[in-house]
Structure 1
Amino acid sequence: MAMNFDPFRELDRMTSALLDSRQGPQLMPMDLYRDGDHYVLAADLPGIDPGSVDIDVDGQLLTVRAERTMRTAEGVKWLAQERRGGSFLRQLSLGQGVDTEHIAATYENGVLTVTIPVSERARPRKVEVVAGGSSGRQHAVEA
């Protein structure tokens, strides 16, 4: 198998490996958005065993942990070894407007998706306005 050798890419990889003083968990890239009455967190975790993913809710703090173990083969000569193993960690403060009892998660195609429902109290609702006086008409006003 032929490999293209790029000395600058190799130098960049070696420099970042030497200068990376972080010994703790790595961050996982994620997107977070609101879709109707729930929030969706989508985190990239390719190569993760779904059994290693741990999601905890402590009060209003959501913690996502995952572990990637690298397969090691004895007696092989590495041509390239750029994938990192280790722990991944992400913590989010959820705030008061979410339903922490009904958080759900799925893992598919290397993406962890966590669905966080908005609590009933934080959802938009109609408030009925009762007009004073003798007409007795009522109007609905959106809050």
Structure 2
Amino acid sequence: MSFDPFRELNRVAGALLENRPGLRLMPMDLYREKDHYILSADLPGIDPGSVDIDVDGQLLTIRAERTLHGTEGVKWLTRERESGSFLRQLNLGQGIDTEGISARYENGVLNVMIPVVERAKPRKIEIVSADSSTPVESAAVESPASATENQKAVEA
């Protein structure tokens, strides 16, 4: 195992920032799969009842609270799991179906499904020839003579 100074610096900076009171960020992944985005946020040890997700306009906010039990009268040897509030906000932008957002919490991971509206999904545009109302096949190969005729039609 090799020593990575950047990883160690990141760990130390994270530990310093985690010890300050206030909100903590939750690590997350966000990716698109077909016609929806999937947000996966790590929330280990958090009661699902304390997780709150809301949408205000195009702003998605995730809040969660971790409370640790049995801390009175205990002499800690090490304590790396802190209680506190977690917050993450994302600007969803245009093309998101905010009414169709759903979430599932399982094994300490919150998965939020964010669907794309129908009008924002990729689609093929049909091309209609200027000579007729029949659609042009995009995979068709033209002869040089018909290509010249089509060029003249475009220039006209």
Q: TM-score, normalised by structure 2?
A: 0.73
Contact 1:126/1:140 (8 A) holds in 2: no
1:47-101 Cα deviation digits (max 9, x unpaired): 0000000001000000000000011243332222111101000000000011000
Query: Within 2, Cα distance between the matches of 1:24 and 1:50?
Result: 20
Does the Cα contact within 8 Å between 1:67 and 1:85 map onto a contact in 2?
A: yes
Q: Which residue of 2 aligns with 1:119?
A: 117
Question: How many Å separate the matches in 2 of 1:49 and 1:64?
Answer: 14
CA distance in 2, matches of 1:96, 1:140: 32
- Contact 1:127 1:140 (8 Å CA) reproduced: no
Answer with 22-31 or 50-59: which moved more: 22-31
**2-structure distance, mates of 1:140, 1:50:** 53
Gaps of 5+ in 1: 1-11
Q: Quote how far apart the aligned CAs of 1:25 are.
A: 0.8
Pair 22,41 (structure 1): closer, same or farther in 2 beyond 3 Å: same
Name the one with the larger helix percent.
Answer: 2
Equivalent of 1:56 in 51, 54, 57: 54
Q: Which has the larger radius of gyration?
A: 2
Alpha-carbon distance in 1 for matches of 2:18, 2:45: 22
Give the direction of change, closer, same or farther, for the CA distance of 1:119–1:65 in structure 2 (3 Å limit): same
The 5 A counterparts of 1:10-89 are 16=15, 22-89=20-87
Tell me the secondary structure at the aligned position of residue 127 of structure 1: coil
| 2:135 is the counterpart of 1:138 | yes
CA apart distance, 1:24: 2.1
Q: Which TM-score applies when normalising by structure 1?
A: 0.79
Deviation of 1:125 (Å): 1.5
In angstroms, what is the RMSD of aligned CA positions? 2.1
Q: Say which SS state the counterpart of residue 91 (structure 1) adopts.
A: strand
Verify the 8 A CA contact 1:106 1:114 in the aligned structure 2: yes
Shift of 1:21: 7.5
Percent identity among equivalent residues? Answer: 67
Residues matched between the structures, number? 126
Whichever structure has more strand as a proportion of its residues is 1
Q: Which contiguous aligned blocks of 4+ residues in structure 1 show a shift greater than 6 angstroms?
A: none
